[in-house]
Amino acid sequence: MGGGYGNKVKNIQIATNGSIVPSKETLEALSKEKCTVRISDYKKENTEKVLVDKLEEYGIKYKKYDFAGMKGEWNDSGGMDYVSPVNEDIFSKVLECSWCMCYTMENGIIGRCARSIPARSLQNIDIKREDYINVREPIDIVEVSKYFMFIHPMESCKHCKGSNGEPIKAAVQIGEEE
């Protein structure tokens, strides 16, 4: 790995629903790095078989993850315009949320949940500095430790139903027929 981080990075996990098999070049790269492919097991679909066969062929580590409480469903977290009711206890909602510690990084920004990362740009949510970690800026290890140790609501939480929304079928791709 470039940048001198090769000895510091223990493992990189790549999450997938298993419906798309990476290119030969990507498979070759994954087989040489400290990567594990985490495949969400939705219990209702068997889309990951082709991917698993390829991962095994290339000697790439993988594990299946019992996703969504082993029910095979996602929850509707709210649409683009959703805003929590004014009287809602956001802190309690965050503590009950299944995603409140699903740390995700995109474009150098680490967020507490996978939904918070795209919500920043898609919903034009004004983010607070304490809601995210920007790995492209100087990092204070004390602040990073606090971020991972103490859960607090983020601005994006005000635009999310958490994991209490209506159940919806998992792993349906955009444009896919029901």
For the chain, 178 residues long, give each residue's pLDDT as a single digit of tens. Answer: 445 555 666 778 888 878 788 999 999 988 877 889 988 776 655 667 888 999 999 999 998 877 655 566 777 888 778 888 888 898 888 888 877 888 888 888 888 887 787 777 778 887 788 888 999 999 888 988 898 888 888 888 888 888 777 877 765 544 444 4
Specify whether the CB–CB gap between 177 and 111 falls below 8 A. no
Residues 79 and 160 both lie in one domain: yes
Query: Which one, of 108, 123, 111, 106, lies nearest residue 153 by Cα?
Result: 111
Specify whether the CB–CB gap between 156 and 132 falls below 8 A. no
Give the start-end residues of each E strand in 30-153. 35-41, 61-66, 73-75, 104-106, 109-111, 132-134
The model carries a pTM of 0.61
Which pLDDT does position 53 carry in this prediction?
92
- The whole domain housing 45 covers 1-74
Q: How far is CA 157 from CA 12, 25, 77, 174, in A?
A: 26, 38, 10, 24
Q: Among 28, 46, 74, where does a domain finish? A: 74
Examine residue 100 and state whether it is found in any structural domain, yes or no: yes
Examine residue 175 and state whether it is found in any structural domain, yes or no: no
Residues 106 and 148 both lie in one domain: yes
CA torsion, points 7, 38, 109, 158, in degrees to nearest 10?
Answer: -150
Examine residue 160 and state whether it is found in any structural domain, yes or no: yes
Q: Among 28, 48, 74, where does a domain finish? A: 74
Residues 11 and 50 both lie in one domain: yes
Residues 39 and 56 both lie in one domain: yes
Residues 86 and 145 both lie in one domain: yes
Strands 132-134 and 12-16: unpaired
Residues 41 and 106 both lie in one domain: no
Strands 104-106 and 109-111: antiparallel
Residues 65 and 90 both lie in one domain: no
State how many domains the chain has.
2
Residues 48 and 13 both lie in one domain: yes
Residues 85 and 155 both lie in one domain: yes
Q: Among 42, 74, 106, where does a domain finish? A: 74
Residues 68 and 36 both lie in one domain: yes
